[in-house]
Chains A and B, each alone.
Chain A
Amino acid sequence: MTDTTANTPKETPLHAIHAELGASFTDFGGWDMPLKYGSELAEHRAVREAAGLFDLSHMGEVRISGTDAAAFLDYALVAKYSKMTIGKAKYGVIVNESGGLLDDLITYRIGDEEFLIVPNASNTPAVVAALKDRVQHFVQDVAPGSDVRLTDESDATALLAVQGPNSEAIILRALDESGHGEFGPRTGAGDQAKAEVTDDANGGATSAGDDKITIGEAVRELKYYAWMPLTIAGIDLMLARTGYTGEDGFELYAPNIGATRLWETLVTSGADYGLVPCGLAARDSLRLEAGMPLYGNELDQNTSPFDAGLGRMIGFKTKDDFFARETLAKIGETEPPRVLVGLTSEGRRAARSGAAVSVDGAEVGIVTSGQPSPTLGHPIALAYIDRAHAEVGTAVTVDIRGKAHDFTVAELPFYKRPAH
């Protein structure tokens, strides 16, 4: 059933493993990615109840370094990056000249003078091109003589995600099984991120002093949207407590050459914890339940950060000049006519992307993503609708293949993981 198109899609270093597991593949952003391995509902549930393993190596990785790396990011992106703590991650966006969203991305602070930006797969070339332009403009005009370097590491970097309530136990087991994990080589800017951790690499065998913690403890204490360097099965990697599923979980950035070994190590470590390989179908239904936007659906070049409800990220008050500041300020003067909301229904029919939303027969919005929610058991959707009808509880109808179906504006996220 797989289409073989003229433009051969790119493959991640784990493609052969996915094929061996019997995955169905789909073209996503120019990549031949696993859509599902068996049942996408079972994969979705595994992440909610146990754990799932994702290959996200299609995502981009762009390193920004140099004495003025932080100042450059303050200029090139809308939020403020120079105040980020080393070891933290931040969700943000990059806009074009018109203030439209070029991409949403995660930025990790690696060191005083080093950041790693992770754009979406399909947008990586555009983001790299835009950032290169901005580097040039920055070092020539904005801050002449400043030191900023950009390295596109996308094609050399694999990204695996372990998501779900058992994720932490699986990472800890992987550390144990690879002869107690060790921190990455103590060179480079990563040092600062592990400053608070001792080099007691023996997995807790020795008694720790007051300010000393073991690697396992460091993993356990790693906060949401933070990262640490780690070695698993001899592979030096970045372990980040981030994800796109609404569950606790980790994303592991590693060189391509270690991808297969890392995948296999995680599969082995996850065997007792219900870890299941998961494809993009489950990733999409999980992120939708978590109310997270997907570039191409909720976000695009015609959508401003204000439209998407991300206006507060823009550093109008915390930064001086930055890219497209004037344009964004102008857009921000008027409230966007439509806002992004959640919709739910008690019926069985799911609203799909592109479906019209109406109130009293008049069209007031459009659905951007929609599915039956596997966890909640009823249809959920994200939609842009007129501000006047955006209040939670508002009754609307959605046109599903020519028939009006009742939906209600609902609070986001649709699903929130149970507190510990």
Chain B
Amino acid sequence: MRNPLSKTVVGIPPSGIRKFFDIVSEMKDAISLGVGEPDFDTPWHIREEGIYSLEKGKTFYTSNAGLKELKIEICNYLKRRFNLDYNYEDETIVTVGGSEAIDIGLRAMLDPGDEVLIPQPSYVSYHPCTVLAGGVPVVIELKEENEFKLTKEQLLAAITEKTKVLILPFPNNPTGAIMTYDDLKEIAEVVIEKDLYILSDEIYAELTYGQEHVSIASFPGLKERTIVINGFSKSYAMTGWRLGYAVGPAQIIKQMIKIHQFAIMCAPTNSQYAGIEALKNGDADVEMMRDAYDKRRRYLVHNFRNMGVDCFEPFGAFYVFPSIKKFGMSSDEFATKLLMEEKVAVVPGTAFGECGEGFLRISYAYSIDNLKIALERIQRFVERQKTI
């Protein structure tokens, strides 16, 4: 028999998170600080709208790019929150979560051999999606001394003649890093000068603390070069609804809709109706959740520093990314040992790229009460390592 498998797909390593997930699932009564989704339920008025759409028999496909009303609300929202101007007719597509938008955005832009710059540590899907789209991933290793921001110098050093797309994953999962207006300005200049395109994954845009998120698409000359990806999962606690979107130049969005139309048809209809309600009446929910995350963020950073673990202050998403370098263990070893000895599950930084070595991703999508118990255990563990 012939080998049924694609060499490209087989060549993609399984997600580093998967491996750890298997170990954790074996452990009973483990406390996890390992999730990448909110602990809040979707606000009831949004769920209620989803239920109502089912009751009314909204059980058919929508148009490929999504419900008109939802696209209009998306554009209103982006204008209101981030001062972005898009029209709903040909610059907006509703997708199955932000993840689909990453996939089809890359596929719409890449030809074989095109290089994609991927700052890491970052979300697990940019690298494989680039490979699946025929592109060549080029990793830029973000540094703790730069607060895990992308610098102009690093960007310039990574650009070759084949570079086509820069992925901009901020606010960042797993580091919690954000890019300010000034940080982005330097990047914007290089992007224009070197004629690049940007895939800006802004799924955590609502979750920044002490400063507002800035979208690179709001810089002059950048709207033409940027696909902005966002969605409902993180900001409205709607992960299971699978609802995201992309906005960008009409010519790119048009090709994304083509792929979406053949591969997906449309995003789930009931989720789209719920999404309209979220954008229309959900601002207060977002604020409530952001406020809760901010409290937990301070709580975690304070406690890690108190127990002598180096932890840079993150200003976005819902993760802290403490350094465990001084304990003389790899991230994998540390995380495994912590799980075995104290039954606390965290994700090794290496799951988000090799340069995540020496760090752990710790999620604060948990109540303070949960965090407190987990922190007590981590502290016990850390103190034992010091005395050895």
**A and B associate in one complex:** no
A residues at B contact (CB < 8 Å): none
B residues at A contact (CB < 8 Å): none
